[in-house]
Amino acid sequence: MDFNVKKLASGAGLFFTRAVQFTEEKLGQAEKTELDAHFENLMSRADCTKNWTEKIYRQTEVLLQPNPSARIEEFLYEKLDRKAPNRITNAELLGQHMEDAAKEFDLGTPYGNTLMKVGECEKRLGAAEREFLQTSAISFLTPLRNFLEGDWRTISKERRLLENLRLDLDACKTRLKKAKVAEAKAAMAPDFQETRPRNYVLSASASALWSEEVEKAEHELRVAQTEFDRQAEVTRLLLEGISSTHVNHLRCLHEFVEAQASYYKQCHLHMQDLQKELARLPNAFTLNSTQSMATVGSEAEGISSPVDTDTLKIEEVQAPATGTRKAKVLYDYDAADSSELSLLADELITVYTVPGMDSDWLIGERGNQKGKVPVTYLELLS
């Protein structure tokens, strides 16, 4: 217990002394050893790297996992060295709900069938998202975290040690300077103690005592300078390693971009496939409206409705004198039957509508070819 108290008192005294010295340096009242410009640039570059890496890391975490509660849960599992449970993505959950709803509404209905197909697509999107999250965490987040929790902590520790040794070096310089001033004063006016009590030994001259103090201070300064130079070299090597860190982070950034590109490409392909599937499904709302109009017309006039897309003969359709437009094809489309026109992405075709057509379809012409085309696959041009 006595040893601990002494150690605590010694540490507190050293801390107080360094605090006073640091304050005097800030006020310009004490000497401060300045590092060379290259070393200062290295430290500034390291601080900049740490600050921006931390910001990028935090924001990437938010991008990959927007839910703060989930991020805290993952952090706790990581600190406890336990594997976090697999978490279903929002898209997968939505897809599951859609599939369950489709079964309740009956898959034989247009709405139930469409819900099932959209739900399956959402689950595929969720699986692609989960794969993207895992890949990004391994290839991008982990290297950034390793730098912040590993390399940067080592650099910070060595820099603190260097700062303490610099303070010790400056303190030795100050003691030597004071000892030399006192030695010079003693040499000019020697002070011998000639009268002392009988039981005391006669002291040496003050000049001799200060000379001994100067030698001691010079020795301490040499030791402090050696330790400071050695620590400065160690810290310099660590700071120069920041360049290697940048190279490593550059590689990780490329991998992150590749993972993002692959993820968005998969999503695009899944949505294209879904659009093609939905384009082939009957539009229940439009069919019901058309049938209702046909029934009302038959009952009122006793004749069949002229509006019937099922009996529409494409070869008999003529382009109107006005109302035709150019359209750019967004995606490839394979005709489901002879009444439809197959499309190639990026080609230009002429489109127009005819009375009684489903609003989701247009008549498209390309040269001598003619057929129905889905509106969702087109970009209408002015």
pLDDT at residue 167 above 90?
no
Q: What single string gives the DSSP state of each residue in 217-254?
A: HHHHHHHHHHHHHHHHHHHHHHHHTHHHHHHHHHHHHH
- 83-92, 151-160, 348-357, 358-367: least confident range: 83-92
pLDDT at 266: 94
b or e along 172-189 (b: 16 or more beta carbons within 10 Å of the residue's beta carbon)? bbbbbeebbebbeebeee
Q: Which residues does residue 288 pair with via DSSP β-bridges, in sequence order?
A: none
Q: What single string gives the DSSP state of each residue in 95-158?
A: HHHHHHHHHHH-TTSHHHHHHHHHHHHHHHHHHHHHHHHHHHIIIIIHHHHHIIIIIHHHHHHH
What span, in angstroms and rounded, lies between the C-alpha atoms of 357 and 340?
Answer: 13
pLDDT at residue 6 above 80?
no
pTM score, whole prediction: 0.61
Q: What's CA 38's distance to the chain center, in Å?
A: 31
Helices 110-136 and 37-64, packing angle to 10 deg: 160
Across residues 252-258, what is the average pLDDT? 95
Across residues 125-147, what is the average pLDDT? 93
Cβ neighbours of 369 (radius 10 Å): 11
Q: What is the pLDDT of residues 190-227, one digit of tens each?
A: 444 444 443 333 344 566 777 788 888 889 999 999 99
Confidence class of residue 68 from pLDDT cuts 50, 70 and 90? confident
Q: What is the pLDDT of residues 313-369, one digit of tens each?
A: 776 677 776 778 899 999 889 888 888 999 999 899 999 888 878 888 899 998 888
Question: Strand order of the sheet with strand 378-380?
Answer: 369-374, 361-366, 348-352, 325-329, 378-380
pLDDT at residue 243 above 50?
yes
Place of tokens 């006793």: 302
pLDDT at residue 44 above 80?
yes
Choose the most confident range, by mean pLDDT, from 81-85, 128-132, 352-356, 359-363: 128-132
Q: Which of the two residues, 249 and 32, has the higher pLDDT score? A: 249
pLDDT at 67: 74
